[in-house]
Amino acid sequence: MQIKYLTALMASAVLSVGVASVPTVLTAQANPCAAKVEDPCAAADPCAAADPCAAADPCAAADPCAAADPCAAADPCAAADPCAAADPCAAADPCAAAEVVTSYAPPHTEVYVESGSNLAIRGADPVAYFTEGEAVAGVAEYEYEWNGATWRFSSAENQAAFVANPVAFAPQYGGYCAKAMSEGNLASVDPRAWKIVDGKLYLNWSKEVQAQWLGDVPGNIEKADGFWPSVLAAQTFYENQLAWAQ
C-alpha cells in the first residue's frame, strides 16, 4: 500500500510541476503525511503482532506423522517378505535339470557305449531285464568284453548266462534308441525305458519317447529294421547325460 501510495504521490507532484510555477510550496503543504507522526499503517498492521501462524501453527506440535508413522515400526514387508524364504524358483528352477545333449558325426560303433566309459546300456545288466523284470545296475566285479563294448552284470550267474549266449540278451539295434531308429536316426537310451517284445530287448531315449514307440510297436520295429545297421555310417548320433542308477 505504501509503495502504491508514494507512486501516486510522486505522480501528483510531477503533474503539479507542469501546472504551477512554484512547485516547492505546493509540495511542502500538500503532503498529508509530512506533518503526521502516526502513520495509520505503522502500528495497525494486522499481521505485525497477530500472525495466526506465528504461535498457533496447527502442525507445529501436533504433526500426525511425527510419532505415529504407521510404517515406522510396522512395515508389513520387514518380517513377512513373501519372497524372503519362499522363492518359487529356488527349488523349482526349470533349468536346473535341463538335458545336455552332445552330437557325434558318423561312423559309429555297432553297440552303443556311453561316452567316457565304454559301457553298454550305460552299465545296466542286460540279463536282469529277462530274469528280474527291471533295470538293474551291473558292477565292475562282473564285466565281459563283447562286440567292442564292456557289459556289466549284477551277479556271476547273469554274467555266465550272457557269456554263453550274448545275442539272446543284448538289446536290439546295438542298444540305440528304438524309436529314433524307426525314423532313421541314432540316439542314446535310458536303461529304465525298456520293453521285451517276442523275446527281444528294446530300449528307448526316455519313458516319454518309449510311450510313442509303444503306440505302434510292430510298425516301428519294421521301420527300424529297414534302417539298421546302415544308419551307423550315415547319421549323426545324439547322446544325453544321464545318471539313472540311484
**Span 122-154, pLDDT tens digits:** 999 999 999 999 999 999 999 999 999 999 999
Q: Is 87 left (phi over 0), alpha (psi -120 to 50) or beta?
A: beta
Residue 245 has, within 13 A of its CA and on its CB side, a CA count of 13
Tens of pLDDT along 28-46?
A: 344 443 444 454 445 554 4
Point out which residues pair with 120 in neighbouring strands: 113
Over 70: is that where the pLDDT of 230 sits? yes
CB 5 within 8 A of CB 42: no
Over 70: is that where the pLDDT of 215 sits? yes
Mean pLDDT of 146-169: 99
Residue 43 has, within 13 A of its CA and on its CB side, a CA count of 3
Over 80: is that where the pLDDT of 26 sits? no
Return d(Cα 211, Cα 158) in angstroms, integer: 28
170-191: string of b/e by CB count within 10 Å (b at 16+)? Answer: bbbbbbbbbbbbbeebbbbbbb
pTM of the model: 0.62
Q: What pLDDT does residue 245 have?
A: 85
- Where does the pLDDT of residue 17 fall: very low under 50, low under 70, confident under 90, or very high at 90 and above? very low
Over 50: is that where the pLDDT of 13 sits? no
